Amino acid sequence: MGAFTIYYLICFIASAVCTLIFTWKCTQQTDTHYTIMFTLVPISEMGYVMMSLSHNLEEAYLAAKIIYIGGCFLQLTVTMSIFNLYGVKLRKMLVTAMFAISLLMYSTVLTIGTSDLFYKSAEFLSTPDGSMIVNKQYGIMHTLYYVMVALFTLPGIILMIINKTNKRNIPVKTIMLFITLEALTVSSFFLGKVAPRGIEFVPAVYVAAQIVYLMIMTRTGLYDVSRSAAENMIRKGENGFICFDGSKNYLGSNETAKNYFPELETILIDSVLESREGTIFSSLSEWIDVLEKKGRSRKYSFEYNDRHYKVNADIIKSGNHIKGYQFTFDDETTEHEYMQLIVNYNTELNREVEEKTMHIRDMQDKMILSFADMVENRDSSTGGHIKRTSEVIRILVAQMKENGAHLSDSFCACLIKAAPMHDLGKIAVDDAILRKPGRFTPEEFEVMKTHAAKGAEIVRKSLEGYDDEEFKRVAENVAHYHHERWDGSGYPCGLKGTEIPLEARIMAIADVYDALVSKRCYKESMSFDQAYDIIMDGMGKHFDKKLEKYFSGCRSKLEEYYSAL
């Protein structure tokens, strides 16, 4: 990892930490532009990291597009936050136009690599420390980009100068912090001209700007809990409020709360809260005990007299000393009933969808099995092969699971379900070859071998609308690769060893074993001993050697099954 990459990574981590601090401390009253800024900066910082780690121009172009997300929108965000601080309301048309300019500029950034609007050309260079940098020749829109940044910066500076002259009632330290912020923004562009080749000061400036913003937010009292409480009290017509001091003495409640809980009319101001079973006082006493123990605000969902409330239980503090408790009640009965209606509707809808899905799957399964039966009915030499190989698969995977093989239940179910589809490709083989009673000529065998690839294609197309991705993968692999051999001498792809999917390796054993112990038009069935010996001799050549112990372990079950046919 080069020095540039480490530098950009440190900036990214610092930016992310600043954003986490902002997220932790922000409130509903936080300026929206602050939120946008703290969101965009880590994204741009990540772009610089990606740029330093890129290996080709395509990756570098992508990183540049991410970087300029901040470049095109951050200065607009800073300017808007300055206007908000000074209480200046801009016309919507002007704000929209400014945003449109930023959006238009960024749309030209997105042409990097496809036109010379923003970058005329670029080349990928390596620095002595191993870092990769992009040497760029800028286009006309990059020049206009600097013009846009200047235009967005200038109004904020002018506004601060005007209000400094008029001595507006804004703290001097806050003004100085904003001036520092603007100075950082402007300086980043000039510093970039004198920086060592490949290094950008903008990421460090972004982090510094975030730190300044956090300081500004602290100075302007954005985290002031009393402001939130005052705004809540203004909404007394919508919310119920009940207050107690630190000793559980009742301080009062508003009319809304008394409408919610009539028993509040029976309690006197300054009287100690007593828990009364079946009244609001019981819950209030319990909540105060929890607040006192936990030392922080909590939220509750509360049901009372068939009404549903959202409760914010807050601690009123002076320093570290608890001065009292405030409870805010929002009546959410209508919303609760509506949500319950939606839940019931969704439950019923999900049930119906599940039933229809199962019905569709059942139809698809039957259709697939019908295809398999059709193939088997055309092939006069393999009667019952589909059913028998499916049972062999079932016996074999059960043996594997019982003896420590790490196979999921879903994989086993998919493989058993997919087994009948392994020879679907034979439906595309000419009857003259497929129904030939004797052995194939070399030319005929070559045609017959095409059934594996054709089967995979049929399975893939047949299952296009099937939503079980694992089953689709297993079924296609079984059809495609069940004639591959462990030593690479199989077909159609000549895969070798673990290149062959596990499901196809298992299918190969079941397919060959059934062929050996079953009677065909061109041969008699072999004895179980002969078939067993042939399979075991093929381990490590035709079959996966690791499957040997499982095949051997289920020998008696296989022979019992075939003996009962």
* DSSP of 321-357: EEEEEEEEEEE-HHHHHHHHHHHHHHHHHHHHHHHHH
Does residue 252 contact residue 269 with C-beta atoms inside 8 Å? yes
Given this structure, which CATH class describes domain 3-223? Answer: mainly alpha
Interval 509-560: pLDDT, tens: 999 999 899 887 667 889 999 999 999 999 999 999 999 999 999 999 999 9
CA 72-75-78 angle, to 5 degrees, is 145
Q: Is the pLDDT of residue 248 over 70?
A: yes
Q: Is the pLDDT of residue 329 over 80?
A: yes
Least confident among 91-105, 226-240, 330-344, 377-391 = 226-240
Question: What pLDDT, on the 0 to 100 scale, is given for residue 224?
Answer: 44
Question: What pLDDT, on the 0 to 100 scale, is given for residue 58?
Answer: 87
Question: What pLDDT, on the 0 to 100 scale, is given for residue 66?
Answer: 92
Q: Report the pLDDT averaged over residues 146-171.
A: 70
pLDDT band at 231 (very low <50, low <70, confident <90, very high): very low
Label the pairing between strands 132-138 and 307-318: unpaired
Question: What pLDDT, on the 0 to 100 scale, is given for residue 227?
Answer: 46
Q: Is the pLDDT of residue 129 over 70?
A: no
Does residue 80 contact residue 95 with C-beta atoms inside 8 Å? yes
Helix (H, G, I), strand (E, B) or coil at 437: coil
Cα–Cα distance measured from residue 545 to residue 500, given in angstroms and rounded to the nearest whole number: 13
Question: What pLDDT, on the 0 to 100 scale, is given for residue 222?
Answer: 41
Q: Is the pLDDT of residue 271 over 60?
A: yes
Question: What pLDDT, on the 0 to 100 scale, is given for residue 499?
Answer: 96
Checking 99-108 for CB contacts under 8 A at 24+ apart, the result is 101/148, 102/72, 102/73, 102/76, 102/148, 103/72, 105/72, 105/141, 105/144, 105/145, 105/148, 106/68, 106/69, 106/72, 106/73, 108/141
Give the dihedral sign, CA 170/174/176/179: negative
Task: Kindly state the percentage of the chain with pLDDT values over 90.
Answer: 28
Does residue 132 contact residue 125 with C-beta atoms inside 8 Å? yes
Q: Is the pLDDT of residue 368 over 50?
A: yes
Question: What pLDDT, on the 0 to 100 scale, is given for residue 235?
Answer: 45
Q: Is the pLDDT of residue 358 over 80?
A: no
Domain 350-563 in the same topology as domain 236-331: no
CA nearest neighbour of 16 among 45, 52, 47, 58: 45
Would you call 238 exposed, middle or buried from its count of C-beta atoms within 10 A (0-12, 13-18, 19+)? exposed
Question: What pLDDT, on the 0 to 100 scale, is given for residue 376?
Answer: 64
Residue with tokens 């072999």: 526
How far out from the chain centre does Cα 457 lie?
Answer: 31
Would you call 336 exposed, middle or buried from its count of C-beta atoms within 10 A (0-12, 13-18, 19+)? middle
Helix (H, G, I), strand (E, B) or coil at 30: coil
The 10 Å Cβ neighbour count of residue 404 is 9
CA nearest neighbour of 516 among 389, 431, 375: 389
Residue with tokens 């509707």: 345
Cα–Cα distance measured from residue 397 to residue 411, given in angstroms and rounded to the nearest whole number: 10
For residue 526, give the DSSP letter. P
CATH number for region 350-563: 1.10.3210.10
Cα–Cα distance measured from residue 202 to residue 91, given in angstroms and rounded to the nearest whole number: 31
Interval 400-441: pLDDT, tens: 999 989 999 999 999 998 998 888 888 888 878 877 777 788
Which amino acid would we find at residue 469? Answer: E
Q: Higher confidence at residue 69 or residue 171?
A: 69
Interval 34-67: pLDDT, tens: 888 889 989 998 988 888 888 888 888 899 899 8
Answer yes or no: pTM beyond 0.85.
no
Domain spans in the chain, listed from the N-terminal domain onward: 3-223, 236-331, 350-563
Question: What pLDDT, on the 0 to 100 scale, is given for residue 502?
Answer: 96
Cα–Cα distance measured from residue 169 to residue 89, given in angstroms and rounded to the nearest whole number: 17
Containing 413, the helix (H) or strand (E) segment is: helix 409-418
Question: According to DSSP H, which parts of 451-554 are helical?
Answer: 451-462, 469-481, 502-517, 528-538, 548-553
Say if domain 236-331 classifies as CATH 3.30.450.20: yes
Q: Report the pLDDT averaged over residues 325-332.
A: 89
Q: Is the pLDDT of residue 194 over 60?
A: no
Q: Report the pLDDT averaged over residues 370-384.
A: 62
Q: Is the pLDDT of residue 29 over 50?
A: yes
Label the pairing between strands 307-318 and 298-304: antiparallel
Tokens, residue 338: 């509506």
Tokens, residue 455: 């089967």
Cα–Cα distance measured from residue 15 to residue 214, given in angstroms and rounded to the nearest whole number: 12
On average, the pLDDT of the chain sits at 82
Tokens, residue 176: 């100085």
pLDDT band at 186 (very low <50, low <70, confident <90, very high): low
pLDDT band at 219 (very low <50, low <70, confident <90, very high): low
Q: Is the pLDDT of residue 91 over 60?
A: yes
